[in-house]
Amino acid sequence: MWGSKNRSCFTAGRERLGKLAPKFAELNDDVLFGQVWSREDRLSARDRSMITIAALFSAGLYPQLKSHLSLGKEHGVTKQEAVELVTQLAFYCGWPKAWSAFPLIAEVYGEAFGNDAVGFAVL
């Protein structure tokens, strides 16, 4: 189960924001990751990862996207599924966002991504 096996990896709120925003850190760690993500009887962690990846991609939140791509990989999201998800969403959310997301997928899944390709994301 999500809560018992992986809960310890979700202390980012307290580690990063504990002194600055302790209530936010508590909500992040205990409610979002402790309660919502643990409801695997309603939606699997893999499916939650796919949904979260889609939401972060569509909002252009790339630092968080990279973190959730890594988490998705742990939850069984394959490289091919991540690529297909970004390809599908590119038509609805923007082509440049896909160019920004593909290097993150490559990094998370240990693939090379040509340096010259990054330049196309700026065009």
Q: How far apart, in Å, are the Cα atoms of 114 and each of 6, 84, 99, 106, 118?
A: 33, 19, 12, 10, 7
Q: How far apart, in Å, are the Cα atoms of 83 and each of 67, 73, 80, 87?
A: 16, 12, 5, 6
Residue 71 has pLDDT above 60, yes or no: yes
pLDDT of res. 48:
98
pLDDT of res. 4:
40
Residues 6+ apart with CB under 8 A from 48: 37, 75
pLDDT of res. 114:
74
Assign 122 a pLDDT band (cuts: 50, 70, 90): very low
Note the pLDDT tens digit of each residue in 33-51.
Answer: 999 999 999 999 999 999 9
Q: Between 106 and 123, where is the model more confident?
A: 106
Q: 23-58 burial, b if ≥16 CB within 10 A, otherwise e? A: eebeebbeeebbeebbeeeeeebeebbbebbbebbe
In this structure, is the dihedral angle defined by the CA atoms of residues 29, 35, 40 and 46, taken in order, positive or negative? negative
User: In whole angstroms, what is the distance from residue 23 CA to residue 64 CA?
Assistant: 20
Instruction: Kindly report the number of other CB atoms within 10 A of residue 105's CB atom.
Output: 22
pTM of the model: 0.82
Residue 77 has pLDDT above 80, yes or no: yes
Residue 120 has pLDDT above 90, yes or no: no
- Which residue bears the tokens 């742990």? 74
pLDDT of res. 115:
64
